[in-house]
Each structure stands twice: as structure tokens, then as C-alpha cells.
């Protein structure tokens, strides 16, 4: 899969060839922006223009007539003199020809230098220049032979200091934009050539504005991975390596598109990028990481209560293999239905109660000593259900000699078919011993089914200590085996 840099490189190579073909021989007439000085530089020499064409592997015809000039013309030199100063206003040819045309000997500022329709020759282009004289009067001049020569203006300072330099990069023509479609991913990139920069050795490079094309959006509204990027400024390194270094890439400032501003508003920003190549390396690495496909994943939330009526279905979110931000955003979006499902599904307290089975057993215990809080004996009743099917005689044999130590720990067993037996004992283990003894007759293993619950009380009158034995008051074992409450329970004699 191609990386963002690879797509940008292919898009700009195509845009460079289109620009070179459009500009033709006129390429050498336009000023450039120097990444070394941060100011305008001289127009490209024919040899450097040819090197640019070779660099981009383009066919460039230096004899082809370029587009007619329009808009602001370049000023190669001083554009304004300090108060009280003046200079000679000179107009020369942008191709570097040394011939100068003297227009004024007392100019203080160039206020207008631009190309436009020739008022004397319909359909032709003329060069207009306006300036201020030392007395504040405006001077002007129109040169109409633009068909053969392009012009630039400057002030040759004679007194005072130059306080404003012109920019030869002004006057760069509007090059028709091109559209590049990546053959592998289908990404569409709009390419606009905005100017030319020069670096070490005078080598040149085009400056581009790259933006995503409208075709990058799928019909269903999704975005093709890697095509959803904000507009960027892009320029190959015009240094002495001949293009071997990483390109300069950064966000495009929308203010650079506003009319009436500097024609190279991106100059300082691009120069800063040129001074921080490490930023481009980091961008390249991040871009490559964003192109690594994230594997598919399934998020599943199962219901806690399997016995619900109607039955609850699990919530399943499937995320397909995606790249970059698409993968991250899709996974984040999956949190919404999963969080909602946690509220909709029944929580672990499902209130699923087991079906009670067997006959009720009631064992009454009586303490061997009187209560410390009175003169009576302590009495406790222990109940559970049993599926053993034994009669009262065998049940009495099971419990008759059993005793335990009562106390402040309440041991409960719940979640099984024999009900919820509980006992107050001296320790948790002692309470479990009582319940396990009952389970031996009831026909279940309390350590395998249901669950243990241990609680207690700090109140002295709850969970009084003492040894508890089966109650035999009146000459009977207070042990009953029956289901229901009809009639008097049958008891066995001691």
C-alpha cells in the first residue's frame, strides 16, 4: 500500500510536468523565493530550469511561448526609500539583461508594478508602473512591448536607506491545477503550483498546495483510507542533493488563499520547514504507521442471566480491517452500543431462584447452660429440605447425638434446592460443620452447589455463645420430618 508521501510525490511529479509544459520558455522570466535568504531571488537561468525538468523527468521545451503575464509584476531590488531619501527609478528586463530604462531621478516608493490589458493595443498586455516622487507627486509609465520582453522595476538609492525590498517572486502566473488519482488506493489529490523556491547551488523546486479530491469519498459516505487529509504545502528540497532529501510538508494556512495579500505568503513558513528536516522524517514515519492495517476485531457482551424469559441475546460488534484513523474512530464508536447494552441487559443479580425439592426438616436445639442474659436456656431452630427419603426414625438417628458451639457468626448457604439454611455459630467453620452435617442427610454437597455467605453481629444479645444440643424437653426429640404445616408434626420419644 502506498504511503502518503509516495502519493504526494507522484501527484507533484505529474503536476510539475504539467506546469513546465504550460509555462514553456516563460519559466525563466519569473522570480523565485530563496530558502537561503528568505527573500526574492533572480529568475531562473535557462540551465537551472532545464535541471528542474530533468529532476521531475519531464519534457520541457524552452522555445515554447509561455502564458501572457498578468497581475503583480516582480520588483527586483529596493521598493521604498527612507524619509528624506530618494533614488533613480529603473525598469529592466526580468531575464537579467543589463539594459535599464530610466523613468525618474527622484523616486521614493514604487506603488504599482503590474501587468494588464494594453490600452493602446486591444488584446495585448502592457506593463504599468507607478511611483511617488520626493515632492509627493505620483508618476506613472506604461510599457507596451510585453509581447517580447517582461519587465521588473527597482529604485537605485542615491540618498537615504532602502526600507522595503521588492519580491521577484511576485508576478508568478496562475498555473491551471491538475488532478492525480492513485492507481492502488483510488485516492484523488488536487495539485496547485504556487511558485518556485531556490536553495543551495541555485537549484529550484516548485511549491504546491495539495488537497483531497471529491472522489475520495465513497458512495456510502465512507472515506478511503489515507485520503482524508487537510490541505498541505509541499515542496521538494531544492538543495544541492538534487532532490535526495525528504520533501518539506506542512499544513496549508487558509489565509494564504485570501486575495490582496503577499503573493508568496507561504515563504517564511516554508523556510522554517526547510530549517527543520526532522519534522519531515517524523511526518513520514507517522504517515507510514497510519497506513498499517489494523486487524478485524469482535466485541461481545454476553448476558449474565441465562434463564431470563424472554431469553436475552448477546450484543456483538464486529469491526472490519481498517487503516489509520478509520480504525481508531470505528473502535471508539463501538463503545456506545456496548455501554448501552450494559444497562439494557440484566445485571448479575438475576433473581433466578432454584426450584425447592424434598421434605422439610426442622431440628430444634437447646443450650446446655442457661443464657448469660437470663435464667432460661438458649433455643435455636435449624430448617432445610431433604430428598433422601428416609423416615423420622433414621432422621433422629442422624441428629440425636449432634451438638455445636453457638456464637456471633452467622453462616448461610443459598442458591441450592434445599432452601436457605443458616446457623449462628462460634466460627465460620463451626457453622459450615452444622450445615454440612445436614447436607449429608439431605443428599447434596454444599461446597459444589449454591454459595456460602458469612456475616455476623457485634450486638451482645445476638449470637450468644454456648454449646447447643438437640432439644429433648418433655421426653421427645424435637426433630420433625414433613412437607407443609397441616396437622401436628410427628415426633420421636427419647
If you average pLDDT over residues 166-183, what whole number do you get? 80
User: Comparing C-alpha atoms, which of 76, 84, 106, 90 is closest to residue 160?
Assistant: 84
Does 339 fall in a domain? yes
The pLDDT assigned to 221 comes to: 39
The pLDDT assigned to 225 comes to: 45
* Contact between residue 104 and residue 133 where contact means Cβ atoms under 8 Å apart: yes
Whether residue 313 has pLDDT greater than 90: no
In the listed set 165, 191, 207, which residue is the last one of a domain according to the structure? 165
* Contact between residue 142 and residue 151 where contact means Cβ atoms under 8 Å apart: no
Tell me the CA distances in angstroms from 170 to 72, 195, 264, one per residue in order.
Answer: 6, 9, 7
Phi, psi of 162 (to 5 degrees): -80, 125
- Bigger pLDDT: 287 or 321? 321
- Bigger pLDDT: 217 or 352? 352
| Length of the chain in terms of residues written | 494
**Mean pLDDT rounded to a whole number for the chain:** 79
pLDDT band at 56 (very low <50, low <70, confident <90, very high): confident
Share of the chain above pLDDT 70, in %: 76
Whether residue 121 has pLDDT greater than 80: yes
Q: Are residues 365 and 469 in the same domain?
A: yes
Q: Note the pLDDT tens digit of each residue in 42-52.
A: 566 556 677 77
Q: Are residues 366 and 461 in the same domain?
A: yes
Q: Are residues 325 and 425 in the same domain?
A: no
Does 49 fall in a domain? no
pLDDT band at 220 (very low <50, low <70, confident <90, very high): very low
Does 67 fall in a domain? no
Q: Are residues 201 and 312 in the same domain?
A: no
Does 70 fall in a domain? no
The pLDDT assigned to 183 comes to: 87
Cell of 443: 443428599
- Angle (CA) 30 62 151, round 5°: 30
Does 64 fall in a domain? no
User: Comparing C-alpha atoms, which of 194, 288, 211, 214 is closest to residue 246?
Assistant: 288
Phi, psi of 406 (to 5 degrees): -75, 165
The pLDDT assigned to 399 comes to: 94
| Residue range(s) defining the domain that contains residue 11 | 4-43+179-290
Q: Are residues 228 and 270 in the same domain?
A: yes
Q: Are residues 333 and 445 in the same domain?
A: no
Q: Are residues 340 and 401 in the same domain?
A: no
Cβ neighbours around 113 below 10 Å, total: 23
Whether residue 163 has pLDDT greater than 50: yes
* Contact between residue 327 and residue 294 where contact means Cβ atoms under 8 Å apart: yes
Q: Are residues 374 and 488 in the same domain?
A: yes
Q: Note the pLDDT tens digit of each residue in 445-460.
A: 999 999 998 887 666 5
- Bigger pLDDT: 206 or 146? 206
User: Comparing C-alpha atoms, which of 259, 260, 234, 265 is closest to residue 33?
Assistant: 265
pLDDT band at 352 (very low <50, low <70, confident <90, very high): low
Report if pTM > 0.85.
no
Q: Are residues 161 and 188 in the same domain?
A: no
**Domain count across the chain:** 4
Does 351 fall in a domain? no
CA distance 62 to 230: 35
CA distance 190 to 207: 13
Q: Are residues 244 and 330 in the same domain?
A: no
The pLDDT assigned to 118 comes to: 86
Give the CA diameter of the chain: 142
pLDDT band at 108 (very low <50, low <70, confident <90, very high): very high
The pLDDT assigned to 237 comes to: 80
Whether residue 263 has pLDDT greater than 90: no
Which of the 8 DSSP states describes residue 416? B
User: Comparing C-alpha atoms, which of 410, 301, 309 is closest to residue 351?
Assistant: 309
Least reliable range by pLDDT among 76-90, 151-165, 321-335: 321-335
Q: Are residues 203 and 275 in the same domain?
A: yes
The pLDDT assigned to 327 comes to: 76
Residue with cell 436475552: 312
CA distance 437 to 402: 9
Least reliable range by pLDDT among 225-229, 240-244, 312-316: 240-244
Helix, coil or strand: residue 184: coil
Does 174 fall in a domain? no
Cell of 401: 447425638
The pLDDT assigned to 242 comes to: 45
Q: Note the pLDDT tens digit of each residue in 75-104.
A: 888 999 999 999 999 988 876 666 678 888
CA distance 182 to 213: 11
Q: Are residues 285 and 187 in the same domain?
A: yes
Does 173 fall in a domain? no
CA distance 255 to 266: 10
CA distance 132 to 107: 6
Q: Note the pLDDT tens digit of each residue in 385-421.
A: 999 988 888 999 999 999 999 988 889 998 899 999 9
In the listed set 165, 192, 219, which residue is the last one of a domain according to the structure? 165
* CB crowding 421-446: b at 16 or more within 10 Å, else e: bbbbbbeeebbbbbbebbbebbbbeb
* Contact between residue 94 and residue 31 where contact means Cβ atoms under 8 Å apart: yes
Tell me the CA distances in angstroms from 489 to 119, 247, 324, 470, one per residue in order.
Answer: 127, 98, 77, 17
Amino acid at each position: 500500500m502506498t504511503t502518503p508521501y509516495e502519493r504526494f510525490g507522484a501527484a507533484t511529479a505529474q503536476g510539475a510536468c504539467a506546469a513546465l509544459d504550460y509555462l514553456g520558455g516563460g519559466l525563466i522570466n519569473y522570480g523565485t523565493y530563496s530558502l537561503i535568504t528568505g527573500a526574492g531571488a533572480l529568475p531562473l537561468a535557462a540551465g537551472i530550469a532545464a535541471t528542474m525538468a530533468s529532476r521531475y523527468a519531464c519534457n520541457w521545451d524552452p522555445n515554447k511561448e509561455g502564458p501572457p503575464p498578468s497581475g503583480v509584476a516582480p520588483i527586483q531590488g529596493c521598493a521604498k526609500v527612507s524619509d528624506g531619501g530618494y533614488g533613480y527609478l529603473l525598469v529592466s528586463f526580468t531575464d537579467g539583461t543589463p539594459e535599464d530604462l530610466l523613468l525618474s531621478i527622484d523616486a521614493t516608493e514604487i506603488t504599482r508594478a503590474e501587468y494588464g490589458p494594453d490600452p493602446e493595443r486591444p488584446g495585448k498586455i502592457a506593463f504599468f508602473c507607478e511611483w511617488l516622487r520626493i515632492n509627493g507627486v505620483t508618476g506613472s509609465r506604461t510599457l507596451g512591448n510585453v509581447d517580447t520582453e517582461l519587465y521588473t522595476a527597482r529604485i537605485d538609492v542615491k540618498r537615504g536607506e532602502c526600507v522595503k525590498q521588492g519580491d521577484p517572486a511576485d508576478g508568478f502566473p496562475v498555473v491551471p491545477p491538475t488532478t492525480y488519482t492513485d492507481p492502488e488506493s483510488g485516492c484523488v489529490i488536487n495539485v496547485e503550483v504556487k511558485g518556485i523556491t531556490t536553495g543551495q547551488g541555485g537549484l529550484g523546486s516548485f511549491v504546491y498546495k495539495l488537497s483531497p479530491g471529491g472522489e475520495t469519498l465513497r458512495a456510502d459516505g465512507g472515506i478511503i483510507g489515507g485520503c482524508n487529509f487537510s490541505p498541505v504545502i509541499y515542496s521538494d528540497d531544492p538543495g544541492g542533493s538534487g532532490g535526495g532529501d525528504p520533501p518539506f510538508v506542512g499544513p496549508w494556512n487558509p489565509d494564504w488563499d485570501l486575495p490582496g495579500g503577499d503573493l508568496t505568503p507561504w515563504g517564511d513558513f516554508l523556510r522554517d520547514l526547510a530549517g527543520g528536516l526532522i519534522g519531515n522524517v517524523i511526518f513520514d514515519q507517522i504517515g507510514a504507521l497510519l497506513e498499517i492495517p489494523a486487524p478485524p476485531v469482535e466485541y461481545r457482551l454476553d448476558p449474565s442471566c441465562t434463564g431470563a424469559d424472554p431469553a436475552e441475546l448477546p450484543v456483538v460488534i464486529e469491526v472490519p480491517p481498517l487503516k489509520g484513523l478509520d480504525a481508531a474512530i470505528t473502535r471508539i464508536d463501538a463503545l456506545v452500543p456496548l455501554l448501552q447494552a450494559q444497562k439494557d441487559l440484566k445485571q448479575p443479580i438475576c433473581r433466578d431462584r432454584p426450584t425447592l425439592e424434598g421434605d422439610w426438616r426442622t431440628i430444634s436445639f437447646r443450650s446446655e447452660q442457661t443464657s448469660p442474659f437470663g435464667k432460661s436456656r438458649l433455643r435455636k431452630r435449624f430448617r432445610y429440605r431433604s430428598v433422601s427419603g428416609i423416615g423420622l426414625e433414621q432422621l433422629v438417628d442422624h441428629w440425636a447425638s449432634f451438638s455445636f458451639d453457638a456464637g456471633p457468626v452467622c453462616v448461610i448457604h443459598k442458591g441450592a434446592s434445599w432452601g436457605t439454611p443458616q446457623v449462628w455459630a462460634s466460627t465460620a467453620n463451626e457453622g459450615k460443620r452444622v450445615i454440612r452435617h445436614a447436607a449429608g442427610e439431605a443428599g447434596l454437597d454444599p461446597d459444589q452447589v449454591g454459595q456460602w455467605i458469612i456475616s455476623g453481629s457485634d450486638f451482645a444479645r445476638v449470637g450468644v455463645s454456648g454449646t447447643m444440643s438437640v432439644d429433648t424437653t418433655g421426653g421427645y426429640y424435637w426433630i420433625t420430618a414433613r412437607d407443609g404445616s397441616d396437622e401436628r408434626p410427628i415426633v420421636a420419644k427419647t
